[in-house]
Structure 1
Amino acid sequence: MWHKPQLLTAIADLLVLVASAALLAAGAVWLVRVPSLPVRQVQFVEPLAHTRRGEIEQVLPSALRGNFFSLDLEAVRVALEQLPWVRKVQVRRVWPATLEIAVEEHRPQARWGEGRAELVNSHGEVFAALMPDAEMARLPLLDGPAGTSREVMERFAQFSSLFARVSQRPVELVLSPRLAWQLRLENGMRIEIGRENARSAVDARLSRFIEVYPQTVGNLPVRPAVVDLRYPNGFAMKVVGEGKGK
């Protein structure tokens, strides 16, 4: 073996690699355990609109265990995502002693149900949170069976676009347990759209109503309290307690 320099060189290289790996492993253990590398700063990427500092201070300290290398980023993420207004969190280390946190807050689009303290965000997801009464009052009211929040929000946007053609603004949309739609406008008028046996049927009813709205409802001296679109070839209106067919 001593007369084979190539073999000796290979053995030497192998020993160097083993020694280097051992040093790296020892260094990694030291970095994880050494107490002199603490996280000194927690930095949020963007200002938070709804989440308060006090809420963060309640959940974050218990998750900040360990030093810069041993800190459990997943624990930090989970702790912050428990807060009412927080939808999603991303956490990363920034050398030498900073924890950078990017928080995506819920963006409320509507209230969900009456008196539930629940809201619908821009993704059509229901979440529980509180807002000032004045801000809550400006949001439309949506409701429906469990799991339908995204569909109700999408339909509300579609119906709002339709009624914008006649300068009316929907403020409430309810999908009943029997899957019937009921819409209320800002002027107080309630519109019974009916069940959605086929999506095209609901679209056809509303489009027909919007088309004749200026010449019918728009010309009445008294605004109808209720308009019922659940007719195959027309609609009915209820004015001051009386029914009137159209």
Structure 2
Amino acid sequence: MWHKPRLMTAVSDLLLLAGGVALLVAAVIWGAPRLRLFPLNEVLVTHELREVRHSDVQQVLSALLHGNFFTVSPEAIRLSLEQLPWVRRAEVWRKWPARIEVRIEEQQAAAHWGDGQGELVNTFGEVFSAPLTREQPLPRLSGPTGSAGEVLRRYAEFAQLLKPVGVLPAHVALSPRLAWLLKMENGMLVELGREQAKAPIRVRLQRFVEYYPSLSETRHGRPIAVDMRYPNGFALRFPASAVQEVKGKK
């Protein structure tokens, strides 16, 4: 090739042209903000928002939508949006030539979580913090850290088993020792204890459902608690006043 001047000249011209194009592109990208090229003209939120406040979204966008189409950071916007209450996930992308599109997946509350400090459980069994924007008849779940998904799954199972008696759990609690306790809508406590191979939780709750209609027919009235931790039976606890009244009549 060194003995072919014309070829060397052509290669040199090609390299110069490629270099010039690269410099031009770099100059356009670097200089675009200063030359006010490629301005953003529109921001589109693609889904209707029910829980997330529009004012919060606008505040995030107004703080981060500086520069032009190329310099705005979709990732920074996404991370900021996901810090808002009721936002589970956000997606942000550029839409040529002058638009930013935002998709927000809102949290869907399935239950209250814990001791009433504003924590909720979503339908995926994830704990999040957000104020309720309207009245919702949500059950309360509680358990050790990391157990929200399992407690939510068990709540759905318990609610299905209890349908025949028409009373749902208002509170499902899992203790640190992995024992289950239900508080029914009528205030009755149902102690189910720990999962056992010989007497599974499901079987014990089915036994409770079977005998539930007769529980209000006891001579002491309706019990305040039912202990279902026994393999083949259960124990009842009554208000102390009811027991004393019965004792006085003997």
- The TM tier, using the shorter chain, reads 0.7 to 0.9
Partner of 1:144: 143
Asked if 1:121 is matched to 2:122, the reply is: yes
Q: Cα–Cα, structure 1 residues 3 and 57, in superposed 2: closer, same or farther, change >3 Å?
A: closer
**8 A contact 2:38–2:68 mirrored in 1:** yes
Partner of 2:155: 156
Distance (Å, rounded) in 1 between the aligned partners of 2:85 and 2:198: 35
Q: Cα–Cα, structure 1 residues 53 and 142, in superposed 2: closer, same or farther, change >3 Å?
A: same
Q: Which amino acid aligns with 1:93?
A: R
Q: Which amino acid aligns with 2:233?
A: G
Partner of 1:213: 211
Q: More displaced, 18-27 or 151-160?
A: 18-27
Structure 1 residue 227: Cα displacement: 0.9
Structure 1 residue 216: Cα displacement: 3.6
**8 A contact 1:192–1:227 mirrored in 2:** yes
Distance (Å, rounded) in 1 between the aligned partners of 2:197 and 2:85: 37
Number of aligned residue pairs = 240
Task: Please list the CA deviations of residues 34-93 of structure 1 after superposition, one character each: whole Å capped at 9, or x if unmatched.
Answer: 324332222111111111122223333222222111011111112111111111111011
Distance (Å, rounded) in 2 between the aligned partners of 1:42 and 1:139: 35
Asked if 1:171 is matched to 2:170, the reply is: yes
Q: Cα–Cα, structure 1 residues 185 and 42, in superposed 2: closer, same or farther, change >3 Å?
A: same
Structure 1 residue 110: Cα displacement: 0.3
SS across alignment from 1:134: coil
Partner of 1:43: 44
SS across alignment from 2:121: strand
Partner of 2:192: 193
C-alpha RMSD of matched pairs (Å): 2.7
Q: Which amino acid aligns with 2:176?
A: P
Question: How high is the sequence identity, in percent, across the aligned residues?
Answer: 41
Aligned ranges for residues 1-246 of structure 1 at < 5 Å?
1=2, 3=4, 5-31=6-32, 33-132=34-133, 134-135=135-136, 138-196=137-195, 201-210=200-209, 212-213=210-211, 216-217=214-215, 222-241=221-240, 242=243
Distance (Å, rounded) in 2 between the aligned partners of 1:144 and 1:199: 24
Q: Which amino acid aligns with 2:100?
A: L
Distance (Å, rounded) in 1 between the aligned partners of 2:214 and 2:196: 27
Q: Cα–Cα, structure 1 residues 47 and 65, in superposed 2: closer, same or farther, change >3 Å?
A: same
Distance (Å, rounded) in 1 between the aligned partners of 2:80 and 2:213: 57
Gaps of at least 5 residues in structure 2 are 244-250
Q: Which amino acid aligns with 2:215?
A: V
Q: Which amino acid aligns with 1:55?
A: D
**8 A contact 1:34–1:67 mirrored in 2:** no
Q: TM-score, normalised by structure 2?
A: 0.83
Gaps of at least 5 residues in structure 1 are none
SS across alignment from 2:162: helix
Q: Which amino acid aligns with 1:95?
A: W
Task: Please list the CA deviations of residues 16-36 of structure 1 after superposition, one character each: whole Å capped at 9, or x if unmatched.
Answer: 333323322223323354324
SS across alignment from 1:69: coil
Distance (Å, rounded) in 1 between the aligned partners of 2:60 and 2:222: 53
Q: More displaced, 182-191 or 68-77?
A: 182-191
Structure 1 residue 142: Cα displacement: 0.7
**8 A contact 1:124–1:149 mirrored in 2:** yes
Distance (Å, rounded) in 2 between the aligned partners of 1:171 and 1:125: 19
Q: More displaced, 27-36 or 182-191?
A: 27-36
Distance (Å, rounded) in 2 between the aligned partners of 1:18 and 1:133: 61
SS across alignment from 2:222: coil
